[in-house]
Amino acid sequence: MSDKPTAAFVLSLIGGIFILLGGVALAVGFSFLFGGIGAIFGIVGVIFGLIVILGSVMLYQKPQSHTMWGVIILILSIIAFPSAWGFGIGSLLAFIGAILALVYKPSMGPAMMPSQPMGAMPMGSMGSGQAMGSMGMTCKNCGASIPAGSTRCPSCGATV
């Protein structure tokens, strides 16, 4: 699955979970130390973590909008870094994930379709008769290349 920003998704997701857990820990700890104000500080971290997690999932679901979510995760990870949210490591992972999301280039359009040699495809799982006729298909929804014989887009799941 080379047309998904998998590394960006995984790093941002783990980073978001760390930020979320850090926010929960701070909300509990600070509410004992500083009362309500401390709890709010932690809760903001929880919200940041949730947005980063949402962003990483959206990044994976809709690779086309990688720039928007990359920017959102980048900004949140930078804001979260000086605080203890995510214990530092969460912000760092989300930051790297956001950079990967920003430099990610979705494979779309027939011009960028990789030319796969037929010999490399595993035989047996698909009917060998219909493989030839439907080569060169691209998804109308996201532009990803669809393997011959497939009725659904491997990238976005749209029916073809």
Query: Could you list the residues that contact Zn ion (CB under 5 A)?
Result: 139, 141-142, 144, 153, 155-156, 158
Nearer to Zn ion, 100 or 144 (CB): 144
User: What tokens does 106 get?
Assistant: 């979705």
**Smallest distance from the beta carbon of 140 to Zn ion, in angstroms?**
8
Gap between the Cα atoms of 143 and 109, Å rounded:
5
**Smallest distance from the beta carbon of 107 to Zn ion, in angstroms?**
11
**Smallest distance from the beta carbon of 138 to Zn ion, in angstroms?**
8
Nearer to Zn ion, 87 or 152 (CB): 152
Nearer to Zn ion, 27 or 153 (CB): 153
CA distances from 143 to 58, 75, 107, 140 (A): 18, 29, 8, 6
Residue holding tokens 């809760």?
43
Cβ pair 27, 19 in contact under 8 A? no
